[in-house]
Amino acid sequence: MKLERSQKLFEEAQQYLPGGVDSPVRAFKAVGGTPIFIVRGKGSKIHDEDGNEFIDYVCSWGPLILGHSHPQVVKALKKAVEQGTSFGASTELEVRLAKLISKAFPSMEMLRFVNSGTEATMSALRLARAFTRRDKIIKFDGGYHGHSDGLLTKGGSGLATLGIPDSPGVPLSYTQNTLVAPYNNIGDVKQLFERYPGEIAAVIVEPVAANMGVVLPEHGFLGGLRQLTRDSGALLIFDEVITGFRVAYGGAQSLYNVTPDLTCLGKIIGGGLPVGAYGGGRKLMEMMAPVGPVYQAGTLSGNPLAMTAGIETLNVLGQPGVYSKLEEKTSKLEDGIAKVASEAGVRLRTSRIASLLTAFFTGTPVTDYDSAKKSDTALFSRFFTHLLAEGVYWPPSQFEAAFVSLAHSDEDIKRTVEAIGNALKAV
């Protein structure tokens, strides 16, 4: 595969952008080789600067659940762009998207739009601390909630990819109120509540962990968190930035039937444009300025282009049969991976919910970050490189999720399984 243009651009990019990228996982550091520079995407495919075509399983890390450049989204965006790109003032679009979200997530009676998942989780925690008048929070080892200071400890995603446990530049005082427990371990969470009675403001959790690879909550884990938080006057925050509108229209909370106090969303609700949101019950949300005293603001929040892409995306997702189609496609992919892995004699375990999937290169069950880390990352790197050469763009880290979109055809899945089979034989 020719990668001359990407190579040249990557060299040039490194002169101006640290590591040549604007987000670390894009740099292929965990897998080696040259990051591809993308020119365009259509449906399930992306095309790079050298004219290579790839079946895309990154899908912009989730938002492109309809695939790239979905005609309905593009048409609406073209119209919206002509009306103006940003006003720093309210539009009807914000009300329309908020209504759609609130209907899908009844726990979000009110919400506030922001520009990223990072902003959503950071703001939700501020609100939780203000509401409870407590400072400490609990997060989970390998959970990733964006890069705000207080959450940059024992994180997944790029931190896991690069093996960075805690980032320098974060004062100790910012993280000393962040308590960390292993995912799926309700006993340890209970112990933290016992150790710090009346001090914990909130538990923040990805209801399905998706930044240490996909790790499903074990039976009783989410319900246990709900019970512990309720009993101790703390809030439960679901970070559904990845799972929201992905694992089901109503997110993981609808699938697992556990209602959080606050929900953070991102990705899909902007249809590929920068967006995030946090929301919860009216009483809680009315603590936000200008109604209440908790401050949070943003010039581009509720941006008309992001709102437009979000509305169109949710309108398509709200049609009957969409989630069963996604389920069907992804289960075919998962079954295919299991089959070719066994044929190739490679120890590999898939972990999947709906159209979110990770293939862990390990023979032991993955239930938390420690078990995810048992994966053979060197083997994963070789797998990734072979797969790329076969025309499949898989997430460039063992600790990320692969995303299947509605645009992935049966032929794409078939070709992908063949390519994975070839890659597994080669490694």
Q: Does 61 bind ligand HOZ (CB under 6 A)?
A: yes
151-170 binders of ligand HOZ (CB under 6 A): 157-158
Asked if 376 and 361 count as a contact pair (C-beta separation under 8 A), the reply is: yes
Residue 230: CB minimum distance to ligand HOZ, A: 28
Contact by Cβ (8 Å): 143, 121: no
- Angle of helix 304-317 versus helix 92-104 axis, rounded to 10: 40
* # residues contacting ligand HOZ (CB under 6 A): 9
Residue 211 or 232 with smaller CB distance to ligand HOZ? 211
Which 16-45 positions form the footprint of ligand HOZ (CB under 6 A)? 23, 25
Closest residue by beta carbon to ligand HOZ: 23
Tokens of 139: 């997060």
Q: In whole angstroms, give the CA distance from residue 324 to residue 348.
A: 26
Closest approach of ligand HOZ to the CB of residue 400, in Å: 5
- Indicate which residue of 56, 57, 136, 144 is catalytic: 144
Phi/psi at 265 (nearest 5 deg)?
A: -125, 165
Please, which residue, 60 or 371, has the CB nearer to ligand HOZ?
60
Known catalytic residue at 267: yes
Nearer to ligand HOZ, 207 or 336 (CB): 207
Question: Distance between CA 301 and CA 320 in Å, rounded?
Answer: 30
The answer to whether 369 is a known catalytic residue is no
From the CB of 59, what's the least distance to ligand HOZ, in Å? Answer: 11
Whichever of 368 and 400 has its CB closer to ligand HOZ, that residue is 400
Which of the following is catalytic: 139, 267, 329, 373?
Answer: 267
For residue 315, give the 3-state DSSP assignment: helix
Distance from C-alpha of 276 to C-alpha of 267, rounded to nearest angstrom:
7
Q: In the complex, what is the shortest distance from the CB of residue 210 to ligand HOZ, in angstroms, rounded to a whole number? A: 7
Instruction: Kindly list the strands in the beta sheet with 178-181, ordered across the sheet, starting from the edge strand earlier in the chain.
Output: 110-114, 276-280, 262-266, 235-239, 200-205, 136-140, 178-181
Token representation of residue 384: 């990734």
Name which position in 48, 141, 400, 412 contacts ligand HOZ (CB under 6 A). Answer: 400
- Residues 109/293, Cβ–Cβ less than 8 Å: no
* Helix residue ranges, H only, 243-321: 251-256, 282-285, 304-317
> Nearest distance from residue 23's CB to ligand HOZ, in Å?
3
DSSP 400: S
Of 56, 239, 368, 376, the active-site residue reads 239
Q: Which residues pair with 358 in a beta bridge?
A: 351
Distance CA 75, CA 29 (A): 37
If the CB atoms of residues 234 and 264 are measured against ligand HOZ, the closer one turns out to be 264
- Shortest distance in whole angstroms from residue 22 CB to ligand HOZ: 8
Shortest distance (Å) from residue 61 CB to ligand HOZ: 4
Which of 103, 324, 351 lies closest to 216, judged by CA?
A: 351
Task: Using the structure block, give the residue that is written with the tokens 């998962």.
Answer: 334
144 is catalytic: yes
- Closest to ligand HOZ by CB, 14 or 23: 23
Strands 235-239, 262-266: pairing kind: parallel
Residue from the set 211, 229, 303, 330 that interacts with ligand HOZ by CB under 6 A: 211
Cβ proximity to ligand HOZ, 261 vs 400, nearer residue: 400
Site residues for ligand HOZ, window 229-258 (CB under 6 A)?
242
Burial of 69 (0-12, 13-18, 19+ CB in 10 A): middle
Give DSSP secondary structure letters for 268-337: GGGTTSS-EEEEE-HHHHTTBTTTSSB----TTTT-HHHHHHHHHHHHHHTSTTHHHHHHHHHHHHHHHH
Contacts of ligand HOZ in 302-321 (CB under 6 A): none
Q: Which is nearer to ligand HOZ, 242 or 406 (CB)?
A: 242
Q: Tokens 């609130």, residue?
A: 102
| Least gap, CB of 68 to ligand HOZ (angstroms) | 17
Residue 320, Cβ density class (10 Å: 0-12 exposed, 13-18 middle, ≥19 buried) = exposed
Interacting residues with ligand HOZ (CB under 6 A):
23, 25, 61, 144, 157-158, 211, 242, 400
Q: Which residues are catalytic?
A: 144, 239, 267
